Structure 1
Amino acid sequence: MLFSSMKAFIDALKQQGDLLEIDREVDPYLEISEISHRFVKEDGPALLFKHVKGANFPVAQNLFASPGRISLALGVSHPDDIGERIRNIIRQKAPQGFSDKLSLFSQLLEAAKFPPKQVKHAPVQEVVLTGKEVSLDTLPVITCWPLDGGPYFTLPQVITEDPETGIRNVGMYRMQKFDATTTGMHWQQHKHGASHFQKYRKMGKKMPVCVALGGPPVLTYASTAPLPENMDEYLFAGFLQKNPVRLVKSITTDLMVPADADFILEGYVDPREAYRKEGPFGDHTGFYSLEDDYPVFHITAITHRKEAVYPSTIVGVPPMEDYWLGYATERIFLPLAQMIMPEIRDYHMPPEGVFHNLVFVSIKKQYPGHAYKVMQGLWGLGLMMLAKVIVVLDDDVNVQNPSEAWWTALNHIDPRRDILFTRGPVDDLDHAATRPGFGSKMGMDGTRKMPEEGFTRRWPDKITMDEDVISKVNEYFPELLKLNKLMKDDQTGK
């Protein structure tokens, strides 16, 4: 199902009974966050706050906070469906060399023939505010946690262009509201938006920036996807929804923006301007990321739909809504990892690892040291370079089950022999790293060991039951379960 707007997505959630509309007035300072937090921890529905104190627009929360809702947003029954679609295209055009493999993703999106489409009139420009009319104070920007440095835009699609190539980037970077016309721009050093900013800085020129809020849900997801550099997120979004993303020229910049968004914030970042203190922020690690200096975004125009809905999310101790956005990425991009390293059978980033702290990967082990080849290959694969711990297991291990993965790995390792330490870039939000953005990593070889790896004893078999006995007990086990339930009910007086 294709959703042309966020409202259409919200209406679909309502029809499915997966939306709770809250009519009472709520405060954007902490109250919305507390309500949303309780519902996300209870696997509750999406939320629509219809009356927000001091604001002119309703707030949507938890839109993607379940496997069903993220699948619906992407128009599939499961994110694996998109991964399989990519896998089928790869099979049709098998790459030969390594460089071919790296460029294939761009080729397959181009082959889908859904490039962005420019339009002259757009719902997002039904209302245009410029000059003295511009004010963020009318938007229900929420403060998530008590020690946050201020209110934050938490689902922004930040649009920039490379000043040398003109290639667009759309990334999700949190934005602290400073006042009615300025915000922080939290560009982490590894992100493409930061790369564009550094180029403008060397040129000594103001950098045009636009921020989209809402619109078709696939746009929000695409802005979080770890795409290769110089890959257009709107091309990717068109591929995902099998329909071009509609773009319109912004009012006060030359940037193109999504015509079907709910809001567009237009403006600029001046690299010559002094940075401003941003933070703290209650982050997806479950800890506050500390205050630091970041560029300032100046807003020159706000455009929006007449009946716009403001999208927001909160992050914190996992699992939260962001886990399901990350889970979609895990499943969609698996075929690309397998294209580079065909021995990979599956991988999983459990919520406790907050994406970059822990990766389980299963492989078809073929030779001594194979696990180490995979570890280092993953550390060289895009943003997987930020993975703090990689645990490699045999292909008979279900890495989607962290309990099984840890049980197997901890049984299979000798710590001195099977743990590798190395150093490299780490996530900017890793508060335990020795230095910001740089620290150590650990690889764990949880595979069965070969004699060539120095293991000369016989490797034990995993405990399993005889299949004939399993079949026999299956025939009458439901009766035993009923008997057990009757016994418990009798003891409790039911």
Structure 2
Amino acid sequence: MERRGELHRVRVPVSAELEIAEIADRVVKAGGPALLFERVVGKDFPVAIGLFGTRARTAFALGVEDLDELARKVEALLALEPGKGGLSALLGLLPKLPLLRGFFPRRVRRAPVQEVVWRGEEVDLRRLPVLKCWPLDGGPFLTLPLVITKDPETGELNLGMYRMQVLDPRSTAMHWQWHKVGRRHLEKAKRLGRRLEVAVALGGDPVLTYAATAPLPPLPGVSEFHLAGFLRGAPIELARGVTVDLPVPAEAEFVLEGYIDPEEPLVEEGPFGDHTGFYTPVDLYPRFHVTAVTHRKGAIYPATLVGVPPMEDAYLIEATERLFLPALRLVLPEVVDYHMPPEGVAHNWVNVSLRKAYPGQAYKVAYGMLGLGQMMFAKVIVAVDADVPVKPGFAALLEALKHALPGRDTLLLRGPVDVLDHSSRAFAFGGKLVIDGTRKLPEEGGEAPFVPKAHPGLPEDPEVLDQRQWPGLWGAVLAKRRPHQAWEVAERLLRAPQSAGIRLLLLADEDTALSPEELLWYVLNNVDPERDARVMPGVEGPVLVLDGTRKLPEEGFPRVWPERIRMDPKVKALVEARWAEYGLGWTTVGE
């Protein structure tokens, strides 16, 4: 990256508590370089952050010129058509398949990551520059851990990325959610009356870091190590852990080895400023005991920052989009493309374009997507015709509204949602919305006459603090003080002449900026469509209203509404004052 001009070294001392996060947030939002903090106060190692901070840098990390090349690589692999023999047939073709070069990991005896070994009492996680990223975080969190476990029954390996809060010098919490493979491994170990061995790698080949985030479907004998080797075109080198019977990446910077005892009480983890842009609350998770730490000489600690988008996780999500598009087309051949806009923080919003041939096909595609792996968590799916680009997301949404008559062409469903969704009707269970923005066939009622409008002057309302219109869409923010206030405001607004040419009204709280990106990010985070979506009359026809304001207990919401992530003003002031010291004069100090 340095040779490409994509790395900036910060040589002055900085703090791992909030200061690095504030610098990194500003730089990634400005499209700046990755950062290497060479001197972290009170720590033994430097920090690298922002490694995937642009589309181009993510492509470079994955060994391609452009992320679209990932789809082409998978398409070429699928075109081999090995027959009905599945993986065994592919293996038979291996000598003829340069595409599969690197698919199988290579075992090695010596590993750079084991040049230095801490065991037992030597282990002290406080020596690592683990970041505290946001003011209300429960402590420092490892944010780029590659967590390796083995199925206690089958021996199948899993490599996943789960945040880890440092609890003390030799233990962390392990954020294994309900749907995660690592949690299933732990439940099996509990049934068998065993501890579960765990290894956690940090750094090394960035393609392996990406692979840990990818929603790899369950394929016997295939793990994220195989995916990483396929993408790199070279085998991932694995060594045996020094205290665990698990393979660890030989080229990593650090490896934490240890175990989780399923019979131990769970520990409190959190709060954590998450990729949703809100804090996830304190919850109970397993404790990971660290029995050894190994690292390279001169190791560099890798980190990422999540929060209000855009963040670098958006580029990892885009890589996943491209990689799995060919597989999606195998199941749903009418799909042209799909996109998860950054404002939807992965699961909250998916645009999909399709070649439509019969009535109801958009719903068939939506149902099919909701049945595929982690796509089951999708909250809002917007379908458009084949000739409509799915990105940028906002432009595709406006195009969809031209062809989606609220009520007739919108559908509410119910199903599993991400455990990080704080707005759902119940934990990990909530509503979903499908908007059919394709052109309508006669059997679907045909096209409803509609001219999208954005009026220059908007109606005054005593409870509306700010509002803005785009063709077909109206956004308004209000100071919410009482239950059901948003619906009352919506009724008044939609009686105004300025509701003509509008098909979607988005309502948000007063701390929301009225840019398309922030408005959609805020509303999509804060709606359970089953509860918060209504079709209401406007002066020219029905309007879909989404109440994206925070929900009160009197509105039937049983849980505590989380805080939006914001940096401490004192830290912001410190960073602004030190900006020239960091050598980052190429960009502004403001947000």
TM range (shorter): 0.7 to 0.9
Instruction: Please say if 1:24 is aligned against 2:16.
Output: no
Counterpart Cα distance in 1 of 2:204 and 2:181: 22
Instruction: Please say if 1:158 is aligned against 2:143.
Output: no
Classify 1:82/1:244 alpha carbon distance in 2 versus 1 (closer, same or farther; 3 Å). same
Question: Taking structure 2 as the reference length, what is the TM-score of the superposition?
Answer: 0.73
Pairs within 5 Å for 1:29-428:
29-93=17-81, 112-114=100-102, 115-230=104-219, 231-428=222-419
Shift of residue 373 of structure 1? 0.3
Counterpart Cα distance in 2 of 1:276 and 1:299: 15
Shift of residue 455 of structure 1? 2.4
Shift of residue 420 of structure 1? 1.2
For structure 1, which segment, 224-233 or 212-221, has the greater mean C-alpha deviation from structure 2 after superposition?
224-233
Is this contact kept in 2: 1:346–1:399, CA < 8 A?
yes
Is this contact kept in 2: 1:89–1:108, CA < 8 A?
no
Shift of residue 401 of structure 1? 2.0
* SS of equivalent to 1:71: helix
Supply the AA of the counterpart residue of 1:429.
L
1:454 corresponds in structure 2 to 445
1:465 corresponds in structure 2 to none
Is this contact kept in 1: 2:82–2:90, CA < 8 A?
no
For structure 1, which segment, 403-412 or 172-181, has the greater mean C-alpha deviation from structure 2 after superposition?
403-412
Instruction: Please say if 1:433 is aligned against 2:424.
Output: yes
Q: Deviations over 1:207-239 (max 9, x none)?
A: 000000000111111100110124300011000
Q: Deviations over 1:53-80 (max 9, x none)?
A: 1111100010100011101100110121
* SS of equivalent to 1:413: coil
Counterpart Cα distance in 2 of 1:20 and 1:61: 10
Counterpart Cα distance in 2 of 1:93 and 1:382: 23
Classify 1:413/1:397 alpha carbon distance in 2 versus 1 (closer, same or farther; 3 Å). same
Question: Taking structure 1 as the reference length, what is the TM-score of the superposition?
Answer: 0.87
Counterpart Cα distance in 2 of 1:426 and 1:22: 40
Is this contact kept in 1: 2:336–2:386, CA < 8 A?
yes
Counterpart Cα distance in 2 of 1:409 and 1:113: 42
Counterpart Cα distance in 1 of 2:416 and 2:447: 37
- Identical-pair percentage: 53
Counterpart Cα distance in 1 of 2:18 and 2:94: 41
* SS of equivalent to 2:408: helix
* SS of equivalent to 1:14: coil
Classify 1:165/1:55 alpha carbon distance in 2 versus 1 (closer, same or farther; 3 Å). same
* SS of equivalent to 1:412: coil
Count how many residue pairs are aligned between Structure 1 and Structure 2: 446
Shift of residue 92 of structure 1? 2.4
Shift of residue 330 of structure 1? 0.8
Counterpart Cα distance in 2 of 1:392 and 1:185: 37
| Structure with greater contact order relative to length (CA < 8 Å, sep ≥ 6) | 1
Classify 1:250/1:358 alpha carbon distance in 2 versus 1 (closer, same or farther; 3 Å). same
Unaligned ranges ≥5, structure 2? 452-591
Supply the AA of the counterpart residue of 1:120.
R
Shift of residue 281 of structure 1? 0.3
Is this contact kept in 2: 1:74–1:218, CA < 8 A?
yes
* SS of equivalent to 2:167: coil
Is this contact kept in 2: 1:25–1:52, CA < 8 A?
yes
Is this contact kept in 2: 1:109–1:239, CA < 8 A?
no
Supply the AA of the counterpart residue of 1:126.
E
1:486 corresponds in structure 2 to none
More helix by share: 1
Counterpart Cα distance in 2 of 1:458 and 1:26: 59
Shift of residue 104 of structure 1? 9.8
Supply the AA of the counterpart residue of 1:223.
A
Supply the AA of the counterpart residue of 1:91.
A
Q: Give runs of ≥4 in structure 1 deviating > 4 Å.
A: 102-111, 456-460
Shift of residue 204 of structure 1? 2.1
Classify 1:458/1:417 alpha carbon distance in 2 versus 1 (closer, same or farther; 3 Å). closer
* SS of equivalent to 1:92: coil
* SS of equivalent to 1:391: strand
Is this contact kept in 1: 2:403–2:447, CA < 8 A?
no
* SS of equivalent to 2:229: helix
Shift of residue 403 of structure 1? 2.9
Across the aligned residues of Structure 1 and Structure 2, the Cα RMSD in angstroms comes to 2.2
Q: Deviations over 1:347-404 (max 9, x none)?
A: 0000000000000000000101000100000000110000001111100101112232
1:483 corresponds in structure 2 to none
Classify 1:459/1:38 alpha carbon distance in 2 versus 1 (closer, same or farther; 3 Å). closer
Counterpart Cα distance in 2 of 1:295 and 1:453: 51
* SS of equivalent to 2:440: coil
Shift of residue 202 of structure 1? 1.5
Classify 1:291/1:368 alpha carbon distance in 2 versus 1 (closer, same or farther; 3 Å). same
Unaligned ranges ≥5, structure 1? 1-12, 461-494
Supply the AA of the counterpart residue of 1:373.
K
Shift of residue 320 of structure 1? 0.3
Is this contact kept in 2: 1:136–1:179, CA < 8 A?
yes
Is this contact kept in 2: 1:87–1:335, CA < 8 A?
yes
* SS of equivalent to 2:407: helix
Counterpart Cα distance in 1 of 2:75 and 2:284: 42
Counterpart Cα distance in 2 of 1:353 and 1:15: 34
Classify 1:150/1:17 alpha carbon distance in 2 versus 1 (closer, same or farther; 3 Å). same
Is this contact kept in 1: 2:15–2:41, CA < 8 A?
yes
Classify 1:457/1:223 alpha carbon distance in 2 versus 1 (closer, same or farther; 3 Å). closer
Classify 1:386/1:103 alpha carbon distance in 2 versus 1 (closer, same or farther; 3 Å). farther
Supply the AA of the counterpart residue of 2:110.
H
Counterpart Cα distance in 1 of 2:91 and 2:183: 22
Classify 1:452/1:264 alpha carbon distance in 2 versus 1 (closer, same or farther; 3 Å). same
Counterpart Cα distance in 1 of 2:218 and 2:175: 19
